[in-house]
Amino acid sequence: MELIDAIKGRRSIREYKPDPVPREMIKDILEAGNWAPSAKNGHQWRFTVLTGDSKNRYNEMFRDTLNMFIQKQGRDEAGSAPWTLEVMQEAPVVIIVWNTNDNGWISEEQSVAAAIQNICLRAHDLGLGSLWIGDVFYAYPETRAYFGKEWKLSGAITLGYAASEGKVPKKKSLDEVAEFLE
Ligand SMILES: Cc1cc2nc3c(=O)[nH]c(=O)nc-3n(C[C@H](O)[C@H](O)[C@H](O)COP(=O)(O)O)c2cc1C
């Protein structure tokens, strides 16, 4: 696949078939993440891959945390999180993404974001759907405690065979986001 086709053809996929994703394919996709540029070549990303029961147990914890949040703050404050959780239930693979944050630099978070984008692009290249998820931040301390990690939580990614094509969102035109100064 041409790079530009991968970049423009990748969509956020929120409906998945139950078919499992072979371990070798997940590794191939993570390898693409591991080749991202990183601040001081620090490879600040870490990945925890959840499938089967491990995924279901994490999702249960997330659901409990989210329900408590909604009880206290109200449903509106939870935004898209309950919906995102449904996507995480349906997807056969959920990858928790960490930032080792060795130096406390913003650049370290940017390195992790570059890895996530590589992962989403390689997934698309291999015929899989993916979703970049920030809603796990509703369970930020809980997720760290659940896995016993000292790292910063950077988000999550779902992977799986798409059950429906993602809707092409309206993208801003280049004129709206770039300026050329001479
Ligand atoms: C940092 C980040 C966090 C995101 N978090 C979520 C999320 O929690 N739930 C969700 O459904 N989509 C999430 N998305 C996906 C965006 O909604 C999506 O990328 C955007 O609508 C553009 O659609 P596209 O990915 O198909 O181009 C996230 C995307 C990014 C980059």
Could you read off the pLDDT of 58-92 as tens digits, one per residue? 999 999 999 999 999 999 999 999 999 999 999 99
Instruction: Give the distance (Å) from ligand 1 centre to CA of residue 41.
Output: 26
The response to whether residue 123 sits with its C-beta less than 6 Å from ligand 1 reads: no
Instruction: Give the distance (Å) from ligand 1 centre to CA of residue 182.
Output: 34
Residues 62-70: contacts with CB within 8 Å, 24+ apart?
62/88, 62/136, 62/138, 62/139, 62/142, 62/143, 65/138, 65/139, 65/142, 66/138, 66/139, 69/138
Residue nearest to ligand 1 atom 29, measured at CA: 132
CA-based torsion, 7, 13, 18, 24: positive or negative? positive
The response to whether residue 9 sits with its C-beta less than 6 Å from ligand 1 reads: no
Which pTM was predicted? 0.98
Instruction: Give the distance (Å) from ligand 1 centre to CA of residue 39.
Output: 24
The response to whether residue 170 sits with its C-beta less than 6 Å from ligand 1 reads: no
pLDDT tens column, 154-167? 999 999 999 999 99
Site to substitute for ligand 1 among 15, 97, 116, 131, most atoms within 8 A of C-beta: 131
**CA–CA dist 162, 177 (Å, integer):** 30
pLDDT of residue 83: 98
The overall average pLDDT reported for the chain is: 98
The response to whether residue 80 sits with its C-beta less than 6 Å from ligand 1 reads: yes
Instruction: Give the distance (Å) from ligand 1 centre to CA of residue 130.
Output: 10
**CA–CA dist 141, 177 (Å, integer):** 35
Q: Average pLDDT for residues 126-130, to the nearest whole number?
A: 98
DSSP 44: -
CA distances (Å), origin 157, targets 76, 120, 123, 174: 24, 8, 11, 27
Residue nearest to ligand 1 atom 18, measured at CA: 12
The response to whether residue 88 sits with its C-beta less than 6 Å from ligand 1 reads: no
| Residue 118 CB partners (closer than 8 Å, separation 6+) | 32, 33, 35, 36
The response to whether residue 12 sits with its C-beta less than 6 Å from ligand 1 reads: yes
Phi, psi (degrees; rounded to nearest 5) at 130 = -145, 160
pLDDT band at 133 (very low <50, low <70, confident <90, very high): very high
Query: What CATH class does 3-7+22-162 carry?
Result: alpha beta
DSSP 16: B
Q: Average pLDDT for residues 22-49, to the nearest whole number?
A: 98
